[in-house]
Amino acid sequence: MAKQGLGFVGTGRMGSRMVRRLIQAGHEVTIYDTSEAAIAPLAELGAKRAESPAAVASAAEIVFASVPTPPVVQAVTLGPGGIIEGKRVKIFVDVSTTGATVEKLVAEGLAAKGITAVDAPVSGGITGAEKGTLAVMVSCPEDVFATLKPILEIIGKLFFVGTKPGQGQTMKLLNNLLSATAMAIASEAVVMGVKAGLDPSLVIDVFNAGTARNSATQDKIKQHVIPRTFTYGFGLGLLNKDIRLCMAEADALGAPMIVGSAVRQLLSIATASEGFDADMTEMEKTVEKWAGVQVGKS
């Protein structure tokens, strides 16, 4: 596939790494972010600056967005100076976690201007974004997927989940629900073990050798909680947002979320306690406080 000009709105922790990979693959990328600190390193690599999402969408036919919340997605797509006002854009690709409800609204609004909306949320964190190993959950018309496939493969492994707006978002929310649940229950289990006098590293080793193994025991607790670094790289407040979105979508569908509701409650308390910008692994601290113990070194 011939290299082409792309647009990218939102060059934060995830977006910046995706843009970097696109540039390294030979694509010309026009970018916009509200933070100069986020733009400057990419501009040094050759990315072109734009003054607004609309300006990005006037420079490229395919425009990506990686922004933190559904209201921001709506603003950068349908709001004043948004992507909808672009003169060249034909395809909008949302790699944010937006939720199916808002994604459908965005798709409907852009369709009125002849722009096809693609939801392609990603999972895999900062490391996956850097290495190009993200799981990319795509829903869009099949012909559009064929167009995007060579580009999206630069950032990760593709999963074509459906043709309707919002199906990729639903898949992402389910993924994050399971990830959050694993972290929540593993936090409780390890804290209980420590309070009973067990070594937390041994507890995790046993879990990982048997049927209790999950993403939290494999990738989070031993690497980020026990050393007390809490540097997994995904924000507690953002995870809380994602689980709240998931609960809302489940409620709209009439799908039961008994365990999910308990996880949402723990996340809400942990976010209030540790702060919106805390690492998701810091939900362990909330459980520690209730138990009166600490997992790992002082």
CATH code given to domain 170-291? 1.10.1040.10
CB atoms within 10 A of CB 244: 15
Annotation marks residue 157 as catalytic: no
pTM tops 0.85: yes
Give the H/E segment covering residue 144: helix 142-152
Residues 212 and 71: their CA atoms lie apart, in Å, by: 37
Q: Which amino acid is located at 153 in the chain? A: E
CB 109 within 8 A of CB 125: no
Give the H/E segment covering residue 169: helix 167-195
The reported pLDDT for the residue numbered 189 is 98
Q: Which amino acid is located at 213 in the chain? A: R
List CB contacts of 185: < 8 A, sequence separation 6 or more: 216
Residues 169 and 249: their CA atoms lie apart, in Å, by: 10
Nearest Cα neighbor of 242 from 178, 160, 164 is 178
The reported pLDDT for the residue numbered 1 is 46
For the chain, what are the domain ranges?
5-164, 170-291
Alpha-carbon distances, residue 233 vs 12, 101, 222, 281 (angstroms) = 12, 27, 15, 9
CB 277 within 8 A of CB 264: no
Question: How far does CA 27 lie from the centroid of its chain?
Answer: 23
> CATH 3.40.50.720: does it fit domain 5-164?
yes
Residues 297 and 96: their CA atoms lie apart, in Å, by: 35
pLDDT along the chain (298 residues), means of 10: 81 96 97 96 96 98 96 97 98 96 96 97 94 97 97 98 96 97 98 98 98 96 97 94 96 96 98 97 98 91
Q: Which candidate in 113, 149, 172, 222 is catalytic?
A: 172
- The per-residue DSSP string of 198-264 comes to --HHHHHHHHHHSTT--HHHHHTIIIIITTT---SSSBHHHHHHHHHHHHHHHHHHT---HHHHHHH
CB 149 within 8 A of CB 255: no
The reported pLDDT for the residue numbered 3 is 67
Residues 172 and 177: their CA atoms lie apart, in Å, by: 9
CB 162 within 8 A of CB 139: yes
**Tokens 């049927």 correspond to what residue?**
211
Alpha-carbon distances, residue 175 vs 72, 97, 182, 209, 217 (angstroms) = 22, 11, 11, 23, 16
